[in-house]
Amino acid sequence: MPAPARIPPSVDEVVVFTRTLDAPRSAVFKAWTDPEQLAQWWGPKSFTNPVCKADARPGGALYIVMRALGGAEYPMGGTFHEVVPPEKLVFTATVDDARGSRVLETHNTVTLTEQGGRTLIEVRVRVVKATAEATPMLAGMREGWSQTLDRLSKFVARE
């Protein structure tokens, strides 16, 4: 019997992801806040980030253009709301349509806890706004975040 389909998250739902990374908390925090490092691991597997800007301070902007293998590009923006080195980041992530109308907004809290040279990471994603156009993005959100954290784990382990 096939596994039941996962229902995409809805507005105000919080989805939580955790991993233990084989790297110190300071290195993981830097991977999140240094745009050059962020560009190397952000997004699902096989994606690249030809544009990656991250001004990791309260009120600072986040802008990433993710590129899929076939060349399709997926820009996302956002704003940092709280930055507590090396333990916490709070930011919104947004996706607008071609007319500039908001189709998706999430509120994200990243918490890093030191564990004997390793780092426990918890990412809490709350859907703030989602239009019908965002349905495919929401359907892939759990898998996308899971793959993103897998990429982060590999990235910081080799730093």
CA pair distance 125, 104, nearest whole angstrom: 12
Residue 22: which residues within 8 A CB-CB, separation 6 or more?
118, 153, 156, 157
Global pTM reads: 0.92
Q: What is the pLDDT of residue 129?
A: 95
Question: What's the CATH number for 14-157?
Answer: 3.30.530.20
Q: What is the pLDDT of residue 3?
A: 46
Task: Write the DSSP symbol of residue 133.
Answer: G
Are the C-beta atoms of 86 and 26 separated by less than 8 Å? yes
Measured in degrees and rounded to the nearest 5, phi and psi for residue 54 equal -145, 110
Q: What is the pLDDT of residue 104?
A: 96
H-only helix segments in the chain: 25-33, 35-41, 135-139, 141-157
Mean pLDDT of residues grouped by 10 in the chain (159 residues)? 60 92 97 98 97 98 97 97 98 95 97 96 96 92 96 91
What is the torsion angle, in degrees rounded to the nearest 10, for the CA atoms of residue 114, residue 60, residue 135 and residue 128? 80
Q: What is the pLDDT of residue 12?
A: 80
